[in-house]
A and B are shown apart, each in its own frame.
Chain A
Amino acid sequence: MPVIVKIPAPLRPLTQGQSEVSVENAATVQAAVEDLSRRYPGLRERLLDDKGALRRYVNIFRNDEDIRHGKSLQTALAEGDKLTIVPAIAGG
């Protein structure tokens, strides 16, 4: 069973409008991000900084767990997990 990644509205132009995409065989969040980055050019730059760390204005949740409070990108994934990408938005 793949890992499901929920794509927020501001990033959907990079995933051809898809609100959910799946990732196969990703052992960590890092691996999932790298897989997505290969399939959807431009996504990596939106999620990670020049040093490969999660950008300070983007967050990722594994199921209900904020990965920044744990092992961040090294958070382990299991089949059936859901990743939710949450970028800051400021429109009003």
Chain B
Amino acid sequence: MRTAVILGMGGLGCPAALALAEEMPGVRLLLVDHDRVERSNLARQILFTETDVGQPKAEVAARRLSRLVPGARAEALVHHFGASSASELLAGCDVLLDGTDSFETRFVANDAACAARIPLIHGAVLGWGGQLLAVLPGQGSCLRCLFEGPPPPGALPTCAEAGVASPLCGVVGAAMASEAARVLRGERPHAIARLHQWDALRETERDVPVPRDPRCPACALAPEAALRHP
């Protein structure tokens, strides 16, 4: 059975999980989040309702997906993803989707995916801006080819500080699911070696080429990720 691990059941994880379950209902979805539903989440975290406030996001999301999508195989893991547990959690994973709201976690996910040769779909949103990068270790660039590392705490605004455009979460989350589905079908995702950016305020999109850094500490030595055909 093919497995997609989704990190963060927030504004991106919710629509990504729903779209991926609808597109590929036979795929096992492992939903990872340590957080609980808050009332302020409801506008953009579409798998949750008022009655879910206070419950673990991963568990609520898995239950709701199972009801919404016949045949969906969603499992919850209430867990804080980190370097110490990354390799164990990614064992058997065919594609990793990262929609977390932590810079540290994003770089841990990138490094773990490169080390384990697992395709990674990186999606992020802030304010009216969104971005997507597909990482196929050994075949393209990775997050560390674009940025050397995470900022120190407080250096850049977070979603809580800058807000996030709710509709944009649906757009970027669905695009993440689409890229993950390509990987699961044995196809190459589109956003390899390029950062796809959305500007929801001006309704524009653009690609920024992300060349592979031959000195990248995460992916330069990574063996090629093989796309497994179903």
Interface residues of A (CB under 8 A from B): 8-10, 19, 55-59, 61, 64, 66, 68-69, 84, 86-92
Contacts and interface: CB of A to CB of B under 8 A. Distances in A.
B131 interface: yes
Nearest to A55: B151
B70 interface: no
Interface in B11-44: 11-13
B126 interface: yes
Nearest to B143: A88
Nearest to A6: B206
Contact of A92 (B123, B151, B156, B208): B123
Given A90-B158, A91-B164, A61 B12 contact: no
A88 B147 contact: yes
B92 interface: no
Contacts of A61: 208-209
B148 A89 contact: no
Range for the number of chain B residues in contact with chain A: 35 or more
Interface of B: 8, 10-13, 98-103, 105-106, 123-129, 131, 146-151, 155-159, 162, 164, 195, 197, 199, 201-202, 208-211, 213
Contacts of B100: 90, 92
Contacts of A86: 146, 195, 197, 208
B77 to A, nearest CB: 17
Contacts of A90: 100-103, 105-106, 124, 126, 150, 156, 158
A58 B148 CA distance: 9
Given A66-B210, A84-B208, A91 B147 contact: no
Nearest to B13: A92
A9 B128 contact: yes
28 contacts: A9-B126, A9-B129, A10-B162, A19-B202, A56-B148, A56-B149, A56-B151, A57-B103, A57-B147, A57-B148, A61-B208, A64-B208, A64-B209, A66-B211, A86-B146, A86-B208, A88-B106, A88-B151, A89-B129, A91-B101, A91-B159, A92-B8, A92-B11, A92-B12, A92-B98, A92-B99, A92-B101, A92-B159
